[in-house]
């Protein structure tokens, strides 16, 4: 009889430099019976091409790869045991670790190894990436319809309130549809050659958006 167990776990938004990737890579190799004979695949998806490397050294030696990578997959296997870490590829699809083996214990150990390491390298905005921004946007977008049902007949919003609602709704829409690009939930930093503004454009956009929403809400109360 052959038994195969598969376990998966979502990961928080994280960022790994090449040094951290090597450390994680080493810890994953130790999970297998024969570390020197583990099949390894590091897949990277770029806008115009796909790359695959057989080990970390091959990745480091590829000089054409620079900057930050947000779409990648690390895969290790030996026999019936596998570990896979994949980045986020779309809205609402967080990074994930999965493991297969003949026992639940091995899968649980592999997943915990990855999760604990990634957790110590979380991005500061990990809370925002996992927040239900889509539902909040949907709620705000439907406030006019909800208001028609709940508010007394003849009651209407003032122009400042309408402007505030519109500003918040547009901000939420931009954050929701652009957060995969502006605030990637999985980052592999191959090199650090970008300027400060370009490197942190997503974080700066989030801060500006949050400040704008706060000021708009405060403006509502001040106007009243």
Strand extents, DSSP E, the chain = 5-10, 14-17, 39-45, 50-53, 68-69, 72-78, 81-86, 96-101, 186-189
Q: How far apart are CA 111 and CA 131, in angstroms?
A: 23
Query: pTM of the prediction?
Result: 0.72
Q: How far apart are CA 95 and CA 204, in angstroms?
A: 22
pLDDT digits (tens, 9 = 90+) for 78-136: 999 999 999 876 656 789 999 999 999 999 999 999 999 999 999 887 776 766 666 77
pLDDT digits (tens, 9 = 90+) for 146-176: 666 666 665 666 666 666 667 777 777 777 7
**Cα–chain-centroid distance for residue 79?**
30
């Amino acid at each position: 009889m052959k038994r195969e167990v598969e376990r998966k776990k979502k990961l928080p938004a994280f960022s790994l430099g090449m040094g951290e990737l090597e450390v994680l890579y080493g810890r994953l190799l130790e999970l297998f019976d024969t570390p020197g004979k583990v099949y390894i695949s590091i897949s990277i998806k770029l806008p115009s091409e796909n790359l695959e490397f057989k080990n970390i050294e091959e990745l480091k030696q590829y000089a054409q790869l620079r900057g930050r990578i947000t779409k990648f997959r690390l895969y290790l296997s030996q026999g019936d045991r596998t570990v896979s870490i994949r980045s986020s590829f779309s809205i609402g699809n967080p990074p994930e670790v999965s493991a297969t083996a003949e026992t639940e214990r091995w899968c649980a150990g592999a997943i915990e190894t990855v999760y604990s390491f990634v957790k110590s390298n979380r991005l500061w905005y990990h809370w925002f990436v996992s927040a239900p921004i889509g539902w909040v946007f949907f709620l705000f977008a439907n406030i006019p319809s909800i208001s028609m049902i709940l508010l007394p007949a003849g009651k209407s919003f003032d122009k400042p309130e309408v402007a505030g609602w519109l500003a918040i709704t547009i901000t939420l829409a931009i954050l929701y549809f652009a957060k995969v690009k502006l605030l990637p939930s999985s980052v592999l930093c191959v090199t650090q050659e970008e300027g400060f503004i370009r490197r942190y454009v997503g974080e700066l956009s989030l801060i500006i958006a949050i400040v704008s929403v706060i000021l708009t809400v405060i403006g509502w109360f001040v106007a009243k």
